[in-house]
Structure formats: structure tokens, C-alpha cells
Amino acid sequence: MKILSAVALMLISSCFYAKAQNRCSYVVPREADNWLFYQNVGLNFTDGGVLVNHPSVENLPAGKGAASISDVSGNLLLYTDGMRVWNRNHDNINFGPNLSGDLSSTQSALIVPKPGTSQMFYIFTTDIVVPTTFGTTKGLNYSRVDVSINNNYGAVTSDRNIQLLSKSAEMLSGVKHANGKDYWVVAHGLDDNSFHAFLVDSSGVKEMAVSSFQGSSLSSVYNDREYMGAMKISPKGDKIAFTSYGKGIVELFSFDNATGRVSGGVTLSPPTSNDQGPNYVEFSPDGTKLYYTIVNLSTGRQNYLYQFDIVAGGGVSELNPAPMDSDVSALQIGRDGKIYVSRVQQYWLGVIENPNRPGLACNYTQEGVNLGTKKGQNSFPSFIQSFFDVPPVDYDTKCILDVTEFWLLNESNIDAVEWDFGDLANPTPGTGFNPVHVYENPGIYDVSVTETYNGESYTTHTQVIISPLPPKSFENVGDSLYLFPGSVIPLDGGEGMFSYLWQDGSNNQFFDVTDPGEIIVEIEDYNCCRSSDTILIKSLAITLPNAFTPNMDGLNDIFIARGPDKGISDFNLVVFNRWGQKVWETNQLSEGWDGTFNGQLSPSGLYSWIMSFNVVGNISFTGKVQYKGNITLLR
């Protein structure tokens, strides 16, 4: 086999589409971007692929359990072996006694952000079980880290090694609460069949656990080794599974991430021989498959990787049959939708390229990522599993009449892709990894993606929400308004928008018009849908003649105000004779005086008039517009 360089492999081990982001774009969780594990291996998951031996690490030469966490931008913050804690500069920030975990524990630690702050973290630790002659286990504990202190290099605070369980198995997993803000941390008790879910919210760690009693009891007897194993919650937070090396079982349950309760249960008893037992476990991204390893702790080999199909009749598939190497050990999903497999004392990581697919179609490759000069061990860091709940299909924009672009998360092992956009109004299908579609109507669409590989097809369904465009800002006003000199027209861009942009660069909801001209506004709602509207502001002018000749010759026969058909309200025009007697009145701009009074012809002479009106949409600081003047009646 041709050996590719580590640089080449890091570019093909993952593939993410780099795409323009907007405020409403889905943001991939980045808190699990940095993996630091034994033996001094560092992986960095980026949008361009997986970088190997970055960050560089020298603090994890040997062990099993570890945990790390990054900030929301993917920058390393902390990592731990369950005993010591290092910051982003790889400095030990314990400043005191070690944490109560043990680096030999299968899942020695889990780092959980404190909701509501980016500066505080809780490190949960599990200790190993030791022979009674060596003392007692410290069980499950937690400590608090504040990354803002010590000149922003962080430190473990005085809230250190707070015990939650006096005895616990070497297994630990966490997931987001159903509210999307808080977290559950779940451990398994010893000498019973208990699960203990601890809530972490903005006030801290709730030390009173939600306890469930399901499945098999795990003994704390050292030689039984039933406490050895791993636990994982599915990325979507609806399932939980664990392995027990000594008991020789894999158990699968339902998990309620709203209540922290564990229920139901399926027990798998895979075939094992001396010194073999189930060790690590992981869910596929869609939660339909469960992967686990059978390991030989004496030799580090004679190990096996299996897939259990949760929904398709519970079929089990061996993924590394001979002559493939049998040194598989730990399992960990990545944000690229693949599952990574540690290989004991090897320069390579295995990769399950398509873990949602059944059986051998999941495409396990034993030489998936070249670690360069480093060798892996039987471990990966632990993470909050929700960080890997990344949708298999992403899309932008999310508005009607815009071009909606689609992307696949995982492009491995695909010969062809067909898309059904679920749009009856525009049933045109799509092909390729990055198709586009235009939706003409708002709604929720069931988009199906069918991947074909080696003659087999695999279909994924994704719900796509397309929003309407925001209403036009001036749809209740019309195409134009009249502005009377000295008045102001307050235009409203529309209530409840995320942003406004007027033609002069201002960004308020309201815009005061003081001069005629074209006014343009662009608005964006909270779904990132945009619309623009234009209105023409015209100068208002009303003219009246100074004389008229009501002789029925069709020329200048009436006294009438000339102005626009629209835009005038509360109009009033009154004519008086020389003695101040009202001889004519109208409230209609379209009506004029024909020179009569009480059915009689009014004599020639000078008459006075008073006109008043309001202008639609205008605010006048002098109140209603009023004019006075004279008109000469000629006969």
C-alpha cells in the first residue's frame, strides 16, 4: 500500500463545505474541535478537514481517560486527564491537590460549560476501583474552573473535588437538556443498576441526582471488572448505552433529556473469550446504529468492532473481520459525521466513514488518519455528545423566491446524489453535493437526499423551513404621497423587523420626509428574509383662479380648486359676499361654485373665500392648512 503523508491524509479525513455565513445560518458546534489524547496526540477539526498533531501536546504520554473543550469558535480552552488540568497554553492550572479522577479510568473526566457564561466550566471525574488493600475509590466528583482568573489563563477554583457519588463505574457521559441551554451529566452507580443524572444549569451543579434503576447491576468487586467500560448518550439525547467489560454486556436504553430519566433496556451479550470484554461504545449521528468494541486488555489485540442496528431488527455486524488488524479500542464521533476508532500502539486511527449506513456499508477503514510520528492508545477524550448533533444536510437561504443552497455534511463514499426538494409547486429535482432550489411558497418541506454507492442507495430525510418575505413597508400607503411645504411625512418601515436601511443610510424604523423625492427602504426580519419598498414623495400644490365667468360658454364657468385627486382630506372651501354672507360651501375638492346663491345668479363683483384641508400622511406644525383669498365674478 502506498503510504500517504500525514498532511495529505488530514485533508481527506474530513470534508466540510466552506460557505458564506449569515445571521440565520446554522452554526456548527465548535466546542469539540480539539481532541487531545494519549499518546500525546492532538487533532483539530476545521472546516477544511482534520489537522493532525495540532495542537501539539506533551502532557498526555500514557493513560486512558481524558477530556477537552474549546470555545464556540473552536479555540482550545482546557483539557484534563481527570487528575490535572491544562489551559490553552498547556500550562497546569491545578494550583493545589489533584482532581479526584484517575487517568486509568476509561472515562476519567467530562468538561461541562456553565450555562450563561463563557468563563466557567465544571470538570466531572470518575476514579478507578482499587483492591481493598489499596483503599477506596473516590467515586464521582466535580470541580470548577474559571478561565477568566490568573490573568485569563484560568485556574481550578476552591470548589474542588465535590463528591456526588461515593462509588461509580468508570463511565460518564453528558448531553444538553431539552431546553437547549442546560446540561445533563450521567454516571452509573456500583453494586446496583442505577443511573444518576445531574443537572447543570446557570446556578451550578444540582447535587441531587435524577436516579433511574434499569438494566444490569454492576459490581464494585475489583476482580470482577464490571465497573470497567464506557457510556455514551446519543447526539440527539434520546438514547443511552454502556459497556461492562467484566459482565460481558452492552446495554441500550431510552433517555429523556427533559427529565434525565433512563427507561427500557436491551442487553447484548457479544461472544468473548478469556481476557476479552466490551469496552467502548458510540452512536451513529442519526441514532439508528450503535457501535461497540470487544477488547483484550492483556494483549491490546484480538479486538473487534461491531455495529448493532437499533431500528432494523437489531442485526449485528462485525466490521473488522480477518485479515484486518484487530487492535481497535476507543470510539468517538466527530462533528464531520464520522466515527473515529483508536488503534492500540498504531500510527493510524480507523474511521467509520458512513456510520448511518447498515453493516459493512458503513465503510470502516483501518487506515483512516495517519498520526505521523505519534502512536494512539486505547482512548479518546470525552465530550458533551450534543456537540456532535450536526444535521446531515444544511441549507441557506431560508426565504421564498431566494436561491436556497444545500450542502451535505459527509461526502464520503458517494457515487451519485439525487435530491427531492419536496416542492410540489416546483418539482425539479437536484443532483450533486451542492444543489440549489427556489421555493415560491413558505412552508415546511420534507427534503430527501438519496446517496448511491456501489449500486446501493441510502436516503436521508431533512425538514426544511422556508419563510415568507416580510410585508412591503408602504403597502398600506400606496406608490406615492404628497408633501405640503413645511410639513413632515413620518414613514414607517414596518413593525418588528430585525433591521432597517433607508436610502440615506439611516437604520431606524421611522424616517421623516421633509423634501420631495424617491424614498427607498430595505428591511430584514428575524428569519433573515428581506424585502425593499419605494415610495415617491410629490410636492403638493393647490391653485384657485382669481376670476371666473359663469356664462355657460364652457370657458372658466366655475370657481374650483385645482389639486391632486388623492392626498387631500378634510377639505373645505367657503365663498362669502361683500357683506360676509356665506353664499357657497363644499367639502369636495372636485366641486366648484357656479356663481349662484339660493338658485339665483349672484351679481358681478368681488367675493372672498376661505379654504382649509389636511394632507394625507403629513404632520403640520401649524395644524390644518388654511388659505384666504378673493375671487372676481364677471358677467
For the stretch 116-121, contacts whose Cβ atoms lie closer than 8 Å and that sit 24 or more positions apart, written own/partner, are 116/181, 116/202, 117/202, 118/71, 118/72, 119/146, 119/147, 119/148, 120/144, 120/145, 120/146, 120/147, 121/69, 121/77, 121/78, 121/145, 121/147
Nearest 10 degrees: Cα torsion 471, 475, 479, 481: -120
CA dist 206 and 200 (Å) reads 6
**Rounded to the nearest 10 degrees, how much is the dihedral formed by the CA atoms of 495, 498, 504, 506?**
90
Query: Could you give the CA distance from residue 445 to residue 460 in angstroms, rounded to a whole number?
Result: 13
Residues 460, 354: Cα–Cα separation, whole Å: 12
Residue type, 514: T
Range list of H helices, 125-223: 149-152
| 393-466 and 547-633 in the same fold | yes
Q: Evaluate whether 469 touches 531 at the Cβ level (below 8 Å).
A: yes
**491 by DSSP, 3-state: which?**
strand
What is the Cα gyration radius of the chain?
A: 37
pTM of the model as a whole: 0.87
Phi, psi of 197 (to 5 degrees): -105, 120
At 388, is the secondary structure helix, strand, or coil? helix
Contact 211, 194 (CB under 8 A): yes
Q: Which fold has domain 393-466?
A: Immunoglobulin-like (2.60.40)
Which cell numbers in the block locate residue 226?
Answer: 464490571
Q: What is the CATH number of domain 6-388?
A: 2.130.10
| Beta pairing partners, 612 | 572, 626
Q: Which residues of the chain fall below pLDDT 50?
A: 1-17
pLDDT tens for residues 461-489?
A: 999 999 999 999 998 888 999 999 889 99
> Any idea where the domains of the chain sit in the sequence?
6-388, 393-466, 480-539, 547-633
Strand 625-633 relative to strand 547-548, pairing: parallel
Residue 507 Rama label (left phi>0; alpha psi -120 to 50; beta) = alpha
Question: Quick check: 540 and 567 in contact, CB under 8 A?
Answer: yes
474 CB-near residues (< 8 Å, 6+ apart)? 491, 533, 534, 535
| Residues 502/507/510/516 CA torsion (nearest 10 deg) | -30
Please state, in angstroms and rounded to a whole number, the distance separating the CA atoms of residues 529 and 544. Answer: 48
Please give the grid coordinates belonging to residue 206.
444540582
Quick one: CATH architecture of 547-633? Sandwich (2.60)
Residues 424, 466: Cα–Cα separation, whole Å: 14
Cα–Cα–Cα angle for 324, 328, 329, nearest 5°? 170
DSSP string over 1-67: -PPPPHHHHHHHS---------TTS-----TT-EEEETTTEEEEEETTEEEET-S---S-SS-S-EE
Give dist(CA 471, CA 474) in Å, integer.
Answer: 9
User: What pLDDT digit, counting tens, does each position of 49-66 carry?
Assistant: 999 998 899 999 999 999
Alpha carbon dihedral 552, 553, 559, 564, in 10-degree steps, equals: 120
* Whether the Cβ atoms of residue 549 and residue 556 lie closer than 8 Å to each other: yes
The secondary structure of residue 302, as a DSSP letter, is S
82 neighbors 68 (Cβ within 8 angstroms): no
Structure confidence by residue, pLDDT tens digits, 104-137: 999 999 999 999 999 999 999 999 999 988 889 9
pLDDT score of 566: 87
The strand pair at 530-539 and 480-483 is best described as parallel
Collapsed DSSP state (helix, strand, coil) of residue 184: strand
| Three-state SS sequence of 495-523 | CCCCEEEECCCCCCCEEEECCCEEEEEEE
Residues 6+ apart with CB under 8 A from 316: 268, 270, 306, 307, 308, 309
Which H or E run includes 405?
Answer: strand 403-408
Bridge-based pairing state of the strands 155-156 and 140-146: antiparallel
Which one-letter amino acid corresponds to residue 568?
A: I
Do 624 and 486 meet the contact criterion of CB atoms below 8 Å apart?
no
Question: C-alpha cell of 498?
Answer: 430585525
Measured distance CA(446)–CA(449) in Å, rounded = 10
- The rounded mean pLDDT for the chain is 94
| The three cell numbers locating residue 205 | 451543579
pLDDT, residue 588, reads 95
Work out the end-to-end distance of the chain between its first and last CA atoms, rounded to an integer number of angstroms. Answer: 115
Residue 21: per-residue pLDDT: 75
